[in-house]
Amino acid sequence: MPDDLGAAEQRRFIIVDDDRVAAGHAAALLKRAGHAVDVFQSSLEGLEAIRREKPDGVVTDIMMPDMDGLELTQRLREDPAHADTRIFVFSGKAFDYDRRRALEVGADAFIQKPIKGDLFLETVERILNDTVEVKFWGVRGTLPKPGPDSLKYGGQTNCITLNFPRGQFFVFDAGSGIREVGDSLMKAGKTRTEGKIFISHPHWDHINALPFFAPLYVTGNDYEILGPSHGSMGIGDLVSAQMDGAYFPITVREFGARVTFRDLREGTYDVAGLKVRTMLLSHPGYCLGYRVEYGERSFCYITDNELFLPDSEYHSPEYMDQLADFVRGANLLVTDSTYTDDEYVSKVGWGHSCLSQVVELACKAEVRELCLYHHDPSQDDAAIDEKLRLATEMIAEKGSNVRCSAPAEGMSVTF
């Protein structure tokens, strides 16, 4: 898998803030991380220094005399010489308007004062490295698998998050792993959180832990839930139905956050400024696969999906070609790899794939990395190890350069 963030490369920063205490704190944190830092209390002097020295990063406050941080940011963005300069606006103002305005004029991140050391440095490094963090919170399908034989890969069901450099936060599916996502956001101490929750389809193992996602009950948070409709039922109806009182004691009316819904079909969408493509998958009901594009990089989430064996009457070369085109060249292809070929013999028509066809897809589409996902609850850690071994051998026999991995619960990678 791609390496996680390592030691920070030394960069040069200029901090522009008339608040000596806040500027000193930010400077100390950056220096501790190995960066070179200059501090200016005057925005006019700071702008002159930035133009002269062309630092890697600029940290500026919004509220300053002479020129505020938003005007400073806008001036820098209008100058082609600073196209690659990363700009971090921080402020004691807690209004969503100011955060949106900072990003609109060209800031790469908005950081709330007082800054929290680890979170501040994590944000800085993510922006400077321009990496997308992918974290696996649940890799099982159908049912959770607790117990001593699932300690390596974990027992939680479907949930993956993507954290983008400019702060967009995407969640894929709401299996039992989403509860841990919510708990981690609450523990981070952020005053507000927001994100997009993509549902592949409304089978229980993909939605049943959504009511346990704690940020939905916090006033001021903002979440959009996106997914396919089923007949006359939109994604909002599907989510609400499992919380109608008969199946769960709390209804969506108890959500404190601003929660909105968007129905998706096959197509291309703009979601939080990022290109998201969808494709209808081979699974009972209306199930969508997702492709998220970030610059020249891409992430594909394809579960649940059945690729029938070539000798099956249900096998469709046209569908395999269409799916290969959809995931082609992806940096990460996370896909349904529920069964070995031997196991699949008795599972045909259940809506899930076997290893040989998943490998065929990954090699045909020339993806960079194939991530085995949605493991059957009957499989223990040793069985998943064996699936990884078999898939790796199949790829080698094809002479392909595709990397293969079996991500474990809690694992983070970047691309």
| Mean per-residue pLDDT pooled into runs of 10, the chain (415 residues) | 53 95 95 95 95 96 91 95 93 83 92 87 89 96 95 98 93 98 90 93 95 96 95 92 86 94 97 96 96 96 96 95 98 98 96 97 98 97 98 98 98 94
What are the angstrom distances between the C-alpha of 24 and each of 38, 107, 191, 331? 10, 21, 23, 39
Structure tokens that stand for 41 in this block: 């209390």
Tell me the pTM. Answer: 0.88
**Reading across the β-sheet that carries 274-280, which strands appear in turn?**
267-271, 274-280, 288-294, 297-302, 332-336, 369-373, 403-405
pLDDT in the model for residue 2: 42
pLDDT in the model for residue 231: 84
Angle between helices 69-77 and 96-104 (to 10 degrees): 20
Which residues are within 8 A (CB) of 34 and not within 5 positions of it... i.e. 6 or more apart?
7, 8, 10
pLDDT in the model for residue 326: 98
Cα distance between the two ends of the chain = 9
Pairing of strands 369-373, 332-336: parallel
Model pLDDT for residues 293-335, shown as the tens digit of each residue: 999 999 999 999 999 999 999 999 999 999 999 999 999 999 9
Question: Which element (helix H / strand E) includes 413?
Answer: strand 412-414
Q: Minimal CA–CA distance to 14: which of 56, 73, 65, 68?
A: 56
* Burial environment of residue 281 by CB neighbours within 10 A (0 to 12, 13 to 18, 19 or more): buried
pLDDT in the model for residue 8: 58
- All structural domains of the chain, each given as residue ranges with its CATH number in brackets, are 12-129 (3.40.50.2300), 133-414 (3.60.15.10)
Distance between CA atoms of 82 and 97, rounded to whole angstroms? 25
* Burial environment of residue 59 by CB neighbours within 10 A (0 to 12, 13 to 18, 19 or more): buried
